[in-house]
Amino acid sequence: MSAPDILRWYIDAITANRKETNFTLSTADELLGLATLVNRKKDDFSGKTITLKGDIDLSRYEDWVPIGVFADDEHKKFSGTFDGAGHIISNLTITSPDGLSGLFGFISGGTVKNLGLTGVNIHRAGEYVGSIAGSIVNYAKMIACYATGAVRGTDKVGGLVGNVGNNSSVTGCYSVCTVSAVNRAGGVVGAASYSDVAGCAALNPEVCAPGMHGRVAASVDSAQAVSNNAAFAGILKKDGSTRWQRTGAGAVDGVSLTADQIKADPTIGGRFKGENGWTTSPGTLPGLGGKTEELPEHLK
């Protein structure tokens, strides 16, 4: 599909109103158009909102190019608000060994919210890797998001976000991704610096790295960076054990919850409630847009 076709949603909107700040996307090609605009520095969408109109399947893209990359010795950033509106983006695949890998590569001052990713497969990326974003910095926010699948990289690799920095936050999110790295692998985030990870749940089957790794986060700059987080007690480490030392709601491994506790309380200790946009039902995982997520095998 040609560039004008994948950008039609944007071209039509700004032709009608050059000061337009609200855009909608409904297809995989339109999502690719967003990546094209950001990565070519045509628009970083600062002060603008993009809203999904429906679920999107990315299976036709064998190696997704993240929205926001590092190229030509500079970061191409996304700085707007991306509202999933409770929809799901499925089958994200990245095979490139580059860093800053995820649906988004680099978010600076932007927000991603109300979004689910399922069937993520990031094979062998470099540093700063997460299903939803490689790195979020400069007061960026991730709110009410979740992901399933597998995420692999070298350093700062998270089930949702690889790196969270400079007064950014991940709030009310969860991951069911298998996570593996050489260093700093985390079930939710790889590393957090001067930022917050709060009210999240690491429900991953395994989080593995020869170096630093943690159920919720591998490394944080202070105890205040993590609060009110939970984790599946059976998450496997690289050595095959489930012995995590830094447990507790305010620690990088989170407070431990058994599979039976998770099945009985789909709000995961009140972290995922309807008032925050979540749909819950016993025996399932929290979902968005009126739907719940099926329990994976390791939680049944």
List C-alpha distances in Å: 230 to 125, 143, 235, 254, 257.
27, 16, 12, 4, 7
- Cβ atoms of 97 and 125 closer than 8 Å: yes
In terms of C-beta distances under 8 Å and separation of at least 24 residues, what long-range contacts does 3-6 make, across chains too?
3/33, 3/36, 5/29, 6/30, 6/32, 6/33, 6/36
Question: Using alpha carbons only, what angle is made at residue 140 by residues 135 and 143, rounded to the nearest 5 degrees?
Answer: 95
Q: Where does residue 85 fall: left (phi above 0), alpha (psi -120 to 50 degrees), or beta otherwise?
A: left
What tens digit of pLDDT does each residue of 261-294 get? 999 999 999 999 999 999 999 999 999 999 999 9
- Cβ atoms of 44 and 74 closer than 8 Å: no
| Total Cβ atoms within 10 A of residue 29 | 17
- Cβ atoms of 100 and 65 closer than 8 Å: no
Average pLDDT over residues 29-38: 98
Q: Say which residue, 97 or 162, is predicted with more confidence.
A: 162
What tens digit of pLDDT does each residue of 147-186 get? 999 999 999 999 999 999 999 999 999 999 999 999 999 9
- Domains (range + CATH), the chain: 51-299 (2.160.20.110)
What tens digit of pLDDT does each residue of 82-94 get? 999 999 999 999 9
- Cβ atoms of 282 and 263 closer than 8 Å: yes
- pLDDT higher than 60, residue 2: no
Average pLDDT over residues 235-252: 94
- pLDDT higher than 70, residue 51: yes
Residues 198 and 193: their CA atoms lie apart, in Å, by 14
pTM score, whole prediction: 0.96
- Cβ atoms of 254 and 202 closer than 8 Å: yes
Average pLDDT over residues 32-59: 98
**What average pLDDT is seen over the chain?**
95
